[in-house]
Structure 1
Amino acid sequence: TELDRTVIDEIGDPLQHLLRNAADHGLESNEERLALGKEEVGNIYLDAYQDGNNVNIEVRDDGAGINIEKVKNKAIDS
């Protein structure tokens, strides 16, 4: 299935941001991962699939997850 070129152009920057965010903020350091019993190297997964007229794109990682307190504090400070 082909995507319209305009769709690809529109999602490029946000997708790059999501991937960079997962690498910069989602994954722990190698040392932290080992201490937590995880594999030394983290993984980032990118899945894309069509569902009817929609294209779903999922970005996920096997990192620590979102620190809710940190997000709350950042929102309050802003």
Structure 2
Amino acid sequence: EESRGTLLRVSFSHKDIANLVGASRPRVTEHLARLEREKFVIRQGRQMVVQVAKLFDSMKDAQAAAHLAGARLN
């Protein structure tokens, strides 16, 4: 942990991540770019800082929105 979030000291290539999650390398690149734009991930050379609390808050918001959307359909 550090002031900006959780520093991932191990560097992974986009291909490594793709193999771990069962996605294509271009898709991983696309999603990592989005996570950076939205300030969930900060690149530090070949390492990354993940803002875990911000990610969890975003996931909670998305779950709440999905729940509300489902309730409206019923």
TM-score class normalised by the smaller sequence: 0.3 to 0.5
Query: Could you tell me the TM-score, scaled by structure 2's length?
Result: 0.36
Greater fraction of residues in helix: 2
Tell me: higher relative CO, structure 1 or 2? Use CA pairs within 8 A at least 6 residues apart. Answer: 2
